């Protein structure tokens, strides 16, 4: 079956995939969705997504197949499964919007190209709130013609930025999250030290945000998720650790090891070991505060 320009396959209907596929359907796209979770399939079906019974039913007719999956390992399993790729028409574009390993992405792209399938990587930043509002930053790696063909779909999710060749999107996403995690950790240490000295955290944040210490952590995460003690940014702590590990590994693979990144990763891993499996990444501030107050885990 020839691919249809207005039909999108969407694999992975979880925390990010559900609002993203829902936005596509609301924007008038025909969305063929699949997830191994029956609950996720039911939720997507209630919001205009045509739920497929298996991977094989996603590909026929879809000009673009989006993957929003937990890791490169899962992406590889899905793309190695002939039930999906074997039903794709030549010229179909696969957009891996997961947070994946850049070098592995390049390997998958080469394998798909040998079968006439084009691949771009298009991870996002902005969390669940950004997915719901359509304000994500979409970091895209791939050939310009492929990106331009996929752009009308990707722009439903937010602002599209071409990062470079295939794999570049996944690289910059991981590096971005390494920065994000590192400044959240040091911001938390700074605020907790100031609080111990007797300074109101809100006052500190106001000063930081009008000074050179400001960051996404001082402007968004601390005032919106940590001070109110909701810890519900929508991005899991273990996903942050995974992305940090990808960035640190990439730095080593290209011969530019990140000494601070490696140390930050070790600290975050310590917090992950002491927090519940589903903890939001902003929980790291509460974990640090408990350690400071002598309560352990």
| Distance from C-alpha of 177 to C-alpha of 180, rounded to nearest angstrom | 5
Which residue in 105, 107, 110 sits closest to 141, CA to CA? 105
| Distance from C-alpha of 26 to C-alpha of 46, rounded to nearest angstrom | 12
Residue 173 catalytic? yes
Contact of 63 with 92, CB cutoff 8 Å: yes
Among 133, 173, 221, 242, the active-site one is 173
Contact of 169 with 120, CB cutoff 8 Å: yes
Q: Would strands 124-125 and 136-141 be described as parallel, antiparallel, or unpaired?
A: antiparallel
Active site residues: 173
């Amino acid at each position: 079956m020839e691919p249809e320009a207005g039909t999108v396959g969407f694999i992975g209907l979880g925390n990010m995939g559900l609002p993203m596929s829902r936005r596509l359907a609301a924007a008038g796209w025909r969305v063929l969705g699949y997830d191994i979770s029956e609950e996720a399939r039911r939720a997507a079906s209630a919001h205009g997504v045509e739920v497929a019974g298996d991977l094989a039913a996603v590909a026929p007719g879809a000009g673009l197949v989006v993957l929003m999956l937990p890791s490169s390992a899962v992406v590889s399993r899905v793309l190695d499964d002939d039930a999906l790729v074997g039903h794709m028409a030549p010229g179909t574009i696969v957009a891996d919007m997961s947070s994946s390993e850049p070098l592995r992405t390049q390997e998958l792209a080469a394998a798909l190209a040998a079968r006439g399938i084009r691949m771009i990587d298009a991870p996002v930043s902005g969390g669940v709130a950004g997915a719901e509002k359509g304000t994500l930053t979409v970091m895209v790696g791939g050939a310009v013609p492929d990106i331009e063909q996929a752009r009308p779909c990707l722009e439903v999710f937010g602002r599209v930025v071409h990062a470079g060749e295939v794999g570049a999107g996944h690289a910059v996403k991981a590096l971005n999250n390494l920065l994000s995690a590192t400044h959240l950790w040091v911001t938390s240490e700074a605020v907790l030290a100031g609080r111990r000295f007797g300074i109101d955290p809100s006052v500190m944040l106001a000063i930081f945000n009008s000074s050179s210490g400001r960051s996404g952590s001082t402007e968004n995460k601390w005032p919106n998720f940590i001070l109110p003690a909701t810890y519900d940014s929508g991005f899991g702590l273990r996903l942050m650790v995974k992305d940090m590990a990808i960035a640190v590994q990439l730095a080593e693979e290209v011969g530019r090891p990140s000494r601070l990144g490696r140390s930050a990763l070790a600290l975050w891993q310590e917090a992950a070991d002491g927090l519940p499996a589903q903890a939001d990444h902003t929980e790291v501030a509460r974990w640090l505060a408990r350690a400071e107050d002598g309560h352990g885990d």
